[in-house]
């Protein structure tokens, strides 16, 4: 049995199978590109430095049962007619990995749009390295702004734009704002100029995943903290120095964070599973958690 992906689904699938199956009745192998499971709800805390990076990951080798074999590698393809995955190891070599049963839990990747300049100038917020890099970048902008004599020139470095007001965007911005507020007294010039935070959302409200009453409460809290929220607004383009919004504003900024949703892993299209029009695995109440392909 091969489990493709070591996130929540893959981790708990491996633990459950190891517990339920009779001893030595099956060989369970979990394939993942890193040796840890990222606890994504705590990612904003890692970005803000309120949590140590080791506190937002689960070491797979330490917590997986002995019956589960962890194979580090990146799934780059599949030949379902031969019941095989193509896995690239840490040195870049690709080899087949055969299976009798396949559990697909590869997760998602950031959804990008054909916005001019997005790939070159936006920052992601999906992985632990991206979260740590964002925190370091924010510190560098504060340091750079503190060296500038011209107040208006500092504003470009002290304006932070998040595009996408779901959980990742809203919580990530709020945590970083707390982080900057705690250390701002160490940067007197930045404190005089002030910090500007902008949250851009294409929909009519923030956090469309939750009931409107809770979303409205969250929006009031953020606005009360001085965060600008632009709903029914999209990003038209971005350059190294500016973000251009659909409402016509040109925002001087050196920091644009893209958190506008996710899409399926591209490799899903190669696994021979039934997909919907958006490339997602079709599921029903029985296969809601796992998709299993039997030989």
Which residue has better confidence, 152 or 56?
A: 56
Is the predicted pLDDT of residue 294 greater than 50, yes or no?
no
Sole residue written with tokens 């996408």:
164
Is the predicted pLDDT of residue 286 greater than 80, yes or no?
no
- Cα separation of 50 and 171, whole Å? 13
pLDDT at position 291 is 44
Mean pLDDT of 93-120: 93
Mean pLDDT of 95-114: 92
Q: Pairing between strand 159-163 and 196-200?
A: parallel
Mean pLDDT of 65-83: 94
Tokens of 45: 């805390």
What is the chain written as a DSSP string?
-EEE--SHHHHHHHHHHHHHSPTTS--EEEEESSSEEE-GGGHHHHHHTSS-GGGGEEEHHHHS-TTEEEEE-EEEEEEGGGTEEEEE-TTS-EEEEE-SEEEE---EEE-----TTHHHH-EE-SSHHHHHHHHHHHHHHHHHHHH-S-HHHHHHHTEEEEE--SHHHHHHHHHHHHHHHHHGGG-HHHHHH--EEEEE-SSSSS-TTS-HHHHHHHHHHHHHTT-EEE-S--EEEE-SSEEEETTS-EEE-SEEEE---EEE-GGGGGTT--B-TTSPBP--SSSSS--EEE-
- Cα separation of 145 and 180, whole Å? 13
pTM for this model (two decimals): 0.87
Is the predicted pLDDT of residue 14 greater than 90, yes or no?
yes
Q: Pairing between strand 262-264 and 108-110?
A: antiparallel
Model confidence band, residue 293 (pLDDT cutoffs 50, 70, 90): very low
Cβ neighbours of residue 131 closer than 8 Å, sequence gap 6 or more: 43, 44, 46, 47, 125, 172
**What are the structural domains, with CATH classification, of the chain?**
2-107+265-294 (3.50.50.60), 118-258 (3.50.50.60)
Q: What is the pLDDT of residues 231-274, one digit of tens each?
A: 999 999 999 999 999 999 999 999 999 999 888 888 888 887 77
pLDDT at position 292 is 41
To the nearest whole number, what is the mean pLDDT of the chain?
Answer: 92
């Amino acid at each position: 049995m091969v489990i493709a992906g070591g996130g929540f689904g893959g981790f708990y699938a491996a633990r459950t199978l190891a517990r339920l199956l009779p001893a030595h009745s099956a060989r369970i192998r979990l394939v993942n590109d890193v040796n840890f499971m990222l606890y994504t709800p705590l990612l904003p805390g890692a970005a803000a430095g309120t949590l140590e990076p080791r506190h937002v990951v689960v070491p797979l080798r330490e917590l997986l049962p002995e019956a589960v074999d962890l194979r580090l590698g990146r799934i780059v393809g599949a030949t379902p007619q031969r019941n095989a995955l193509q896995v690239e190891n840490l040195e870049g070599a690709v080899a087949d990995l055969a299976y009798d049963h396949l559990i697909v839990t590869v997760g998602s990747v950031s959804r990008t749009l054909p916005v001019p300049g997005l790939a070159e100038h936006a920052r992601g917020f999906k992985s632990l390295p991206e979260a740590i890099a964002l925190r370091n970048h924010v510190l560098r902008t504060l340091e750079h702004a503190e060296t500038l004599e011209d107040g208006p020139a500092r504003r470009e470095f002290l304006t932070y734009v998040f595009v996408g007001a779901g959980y990742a965007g809203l919580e990530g911005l709020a945590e970083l704002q707390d982080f900057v507020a705690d250390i701002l007294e160490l940067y007197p010039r930045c404190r005089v100029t002030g910090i500007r935070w902008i949250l851009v959302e294409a929909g009519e409200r923030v956090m469309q995943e939750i009931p409107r009453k809770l979303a409205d409460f969250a929006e009031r809290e953020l606005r009360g903290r001085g965060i600008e929220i632009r709903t029914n607004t999209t990003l038209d383009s971005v350059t190294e120095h500016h973000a251009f919004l659909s409402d016509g504003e040109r925002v001087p900024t050196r920091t644009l964070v893209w958190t506008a949703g996710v899409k399926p892993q591209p490799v899903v299209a190669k696994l021979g599973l039934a997909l919907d029009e958006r490339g997602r695995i079709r599921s029903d109440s029985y296969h809601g958690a796992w998709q299993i392909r039997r030989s």
